[in-house]
Amino acid sequence: MIKIGDQKVKDVLAEIHRAMQRKVKKGSQVKEDIVRENRIFSIICRDHDIEPRKCAVKMGERFGCSLTGNEVIQVLRSRKLSNQSERKELLQWAGEVADYFAKALGGSRESYEKFEKRRKEPALKSGKKHDSQDRMAALMIYEKYPEIDIYDDSDSLMLLGSTLARYFFYDMADAVSEVYGFPQHREEKKKVQPAPAKQMTYEQALKRISQLENTLERTNTMLQDLQDEFDEQLEASKAKELADFFTRLNSEKYGCILDELLVVRKGMDELRKNNYELPIEIKAFSDTHMSDVVSEFNPEVILLGPQVKHLFDKVNERYGQDHIVAVIDSTDYGNMDGERVLKKAMKLYKESRGK
């Protein structure tokens, strides 16, 4: 239990809160994906072995979110946390870091040095740093020691993606260092002479300049990391939008156009390989545009995909007198055997002309 009534502890928490306010301003646009990830992370921080389905239930109980077990799995997979053994390694590392931090917050220099050493080490036994390890450590600290959340910074932490959470985690370490005078980056502590109020000695000024230079360097690095993270999210967003577009395009609503085209293209390739002459024009359209297509192209044969075979009677009644109407065999369609589909269409065409 951390003594939050201690003045130095209060000073550290105040510094951490100011750092959080700066980070929240930098990431002012709230992203639902990031909030959902952090909430899932916070749940697995409490229960390292929780199953995805139970995690989804906890999301509903704790945060009022409606998620399925599969959606939890997708989040874990996207953050490279689907491997259970690696996830346990990461959580164990984060737990150790949180414990060292709690003792350092109480003023233990030995624990602070252990915290500094452990937080810089890779979380995984393979020797690799996990992309989300600093983010997980920050969340773990607030989950294991909720008494430090006197400013409700844990709610704000849910808004931070990996980059901002990582630099907030660095700020947490700096806050302990500055309040207790612990050396940052294992530097020897400089001895300073007493100085009049509101004045700095030469050594203090050098130390302050060094702190500001470190802050500037870290800020520049953070901005570059944020830009990289933004670029990655933008590419992922574009890929998702493209995938969603093609999924909609190939839905029953649009007549499974992509499937139709693949069947037709494959069939044409096979016919060309067999030296068939193809004075044939083949097009695929959604059934919702059928009247316009028939009017514009006046096709000899209208083939319906098996997924819309229920429209056969209606289409045949309207166009059957002047056009051949048939349904593609479901086996041929499923096998994408375009050659058989085209041969059957040509046979129907020849039979109709012979009548």
User: Which two structure tokens, joined as six digits, stand for 191?
Assistant: 């001895």
Give a yes or no: residue 40 inside a domain.
yes
Instruction: Check whether residue 205 and residue 307 sit in a common domain.
Output: no
Instruction: Check whether residue 57 and residue 87 sit in a common domain.
Output: yes
Q: How confident is the chain (355 residues) per 10-residue block, as mean pLDDT?
A: 92 94 72 92 94 94 92 91 92 96 95 94 93 95 96 93 89 93 58 48 70 68 67 65 59 53 62 57 73 86 87 91 90 76 84 72
Block residue for tokens 């989300």: 132
Instruction: Check whether residue 301 and residue 238 sit in a common domain.
Output: no
Instruction: Check whether residue 146 and residue 293 sit in a common domain.
Output: no
What is residue 194's predicted lDDT score, i.e. its pLDDT?
41
Instruction: Check whether residue 87 and residue 232 sit in a common domain.
Output: no
What is residue 196's predicted lDDT score, i.e. its pLDDT?
45
Instruction: Check whether residue 36 and residue 168 sit in a common domain.
Output: yes
Query: How many domains in the chain?
Result: 3
* Domain termination residue (choose one: 232, 249, 266): 249
Instruction: Check whether residue 138 and residue 286 sit in a common domain.
Output: no
186: left (phi over 0), alpha (psi -120 to 50) or beta: left
Q: Are 299 and 323 in contact (CB under 8 A)?
A: yes
Residue type, 295: S
Of 153, 154, 134, the closest CA to residue 62 belongs to 154
**What's the CA gap between 224 and 328, in Å, rounded?**
55
Q: Are 113 and 186 in contact (CB under 8 A)?
A: yes
What is residue 295's predicted lDDT score, i.e. its pLDDT?
87
3-state DSSP assignment of residue 237: helix
Give a yes or no: residue 130 inside a domain.
yes
* Domain termination residue (choose one: 138, 165, 188): 188
Give a yes or no: residue 35 inside a domain.
yes
Give a yes or no: residue 244 inside a domain.
yes
What is residue 30's predicted lDDT score, i.e. its pLDDT?
62
Instruction: Check whether residue 177 and residue 325 sit in a common domain.
Output: no
Give a yes or no: residue 1 inside a domain.
no
Of 174, 252, 253, the closest CA to residue 219 belongs to 174
Give a yes or no: residue 271 inside a domain.
yes
Q: Quote the Cα angle for 157-131-237, to 5°.
A: 80
Q: Are 36 and 180 in contact (CB under 8 A)?
A: no
pTM given for the model:
0.56
Read off the CATH number of the domain in which 265 is found: 3.40.50.2300
**What's the CA gap between 274 and 46, in Å, rounded?**
65
What is residue 39's predicted lDDT score, i.e. its pLDDT?
96
Give a yes or no: residue 76 inside a domain.
yes
For residue 300, the enclosing domain spans: 253-354
Of 85, 157, 76, 90, the closest CA to residue 121 belongs to 90
Instruction: Check whether residue 151 and residue 300 sit in a common domain.
Output: no
Distant-in-sequence, close-in-space partners of 11: CB < 8 Å, separation ≥ 6: 179
* Domain termination residue (choose one: 167, 188, 209): 188
Distant-in-sequence, close-in-space partners of 266: CB < 8 Å, separation ≥ 6: 336, 337, 338, 339
Q: Quote the Cα angle for 311-315-320, to 5°.
A: 145
3-state DSSP assignment of residue 207: helix
Q: Are 75 and 173 in contact (CB under 8 A)?
A: no
Q: Quote the Cα angle for 129-30-145, to 5°.
A: 55
Beta bridge partners of 345: none
Of 270, 330, 339, the closest CA to residue 305 belongs to 330
Q: Quote the Cα angle for 265-266-267, to 5°.
A: 90
Give a yes or no: residue 193 inside a domain.
no
Of 124, 129, 114, 195, the closest CA to residue 162 belongs to 129
Instruction: Check whether residue 203 and residue 287 sit in a common domain.
Output: no
Phi and psi, residue 28, nearest 5°? -60, -30
**What's the CA gap between 87 and 310, in Å, rounded?**
50
